[in-house]
Structure 1
Amino acid sequence: MLHDVSAGKRTEAAAMEAHERMTETKMRLLGDRVSRRAAWRIARRHGWDTLRDAEYIAIARLQADALVTVDPRLAALARETVQVAAVDDLLAPG
């Protein structure tokens, strides 16, 4: 958002409003046994040799929510398991 303000793509007021909405969003962070086990299962099911991508996908799945990412590679991997949304969807009013 700071980059958008600097580039003139978004007003500072709009960026701060979006930032407020994001900070109000409840998030579950990886670290508990359930989320780590879910990440392990996702990675194994897809034949991945690391947990990095699976960790993000597991959290979205456990929360029954969409994965918000700007990484097209992660979005493509996640679409098989969870709904994927763009950052703009998260920042949209309403």
Structure 2
Amino acid sequence: MRYAIDAATLLLIASGDVVVATGNALVAPNRVLPDLLEILLADVRSGARDEKAALALHTRATETKIRLLGDRVSRRTAWNLAREHDWAELRDAEYLAVATLQADALAAADPRLVRVAAAIVAVAPPEALTAS
């Protein structure tokens, strides 16, 4: 299967908590890596993770086999989703656009994104990535 993933799921993959099964392909919007950095920065600021470990996780995440998307069609689809749902920001819409255009389902660990996505795309827990 082809899964769109969010930054929280990418963190689970980079940390080794979720191992992607052979045969599953991953896609995400270009913003997934900066979003992951924001999660890691919050962890460092709260004391949940030290800086060296956080940056090492980000490096592992950049080495994950994932197709990053940000073409004109996905940006326009994100725009349309945000307008249709009257969202003030494009962040969620970008993940949903990639899921709509390029994936069978969105594997998301961010509960807020899961709530928003459930009415728009098929949603799976990150653990679904371990099955082929």
Output the TM-score relative to the length of structure 1.
0.72
**How far did residue 31 of structure 1 move?**
1.4
Q: Is the 8 A contact 2:21 2:129 kept in 1?
A: no
Aligned length: 80
- 1:44 alignment partner, one of 78, 83, 89: 83
Residue of structure 1 in register with 2:25 after alignment = 25
Q: Output one character per residue of 1:13-48: Cα deviation in whole Å (capped at 9) or x when no partner.
A: xx6xx25638x6253433100000000000111100
Q: Which of the two has greater strand per residue?
A: 2
Higher relative contact order (CA 8 A, sep 6+): 2
Query: How well do the aligned residues superpose, as a CA RMSD in angstroms?
Result: 2.3
Q: Is the 8 A contact 1:35 1:58 kept in 2?
A: yes
- Structure 1 unaligned regions, length at least 5: 5-14
- 1:66 alignment partner, one of 105, 110, 116: 105
| Counterpart check, 1:75 vs 2:114 | yes
Letter in structure 2 aligned against 1:67? L
Q: What is the SS of the residue equivalent to 1:50?
A: coil
Q: Is the 8 A contact 1:35 1:55 kept in 2?
A: yes
- Distance in 2, Cα, partners of 1:58 & 1:77: 13
Residue of structure 2 in register with 1:86 after alignment = 125
Output the TM-score relative to the length of structure 2.
0.53
- Structure 2 unaligned regions, length at least 5: 1-11, 28-66
Identity of aligned residues (%): 51
**Is the radius of gyration larger for structure 1 or structure 2?**
1
- Distance in 2, Cα, partners of 1:67 & 1:76: 12
Q: Is the 8 A contact 1:42 1:58 kept in 2?
A: yes
Q: What is the SS of the residue equivalent to 2:74?
A: helix
- Distance in 2, Cα, partners of 1:54 & 1:33: 14
Which aligned segments of 4 or more residues in structure 1 are displaced greater than 3 angstroms? 1-4, 19-22
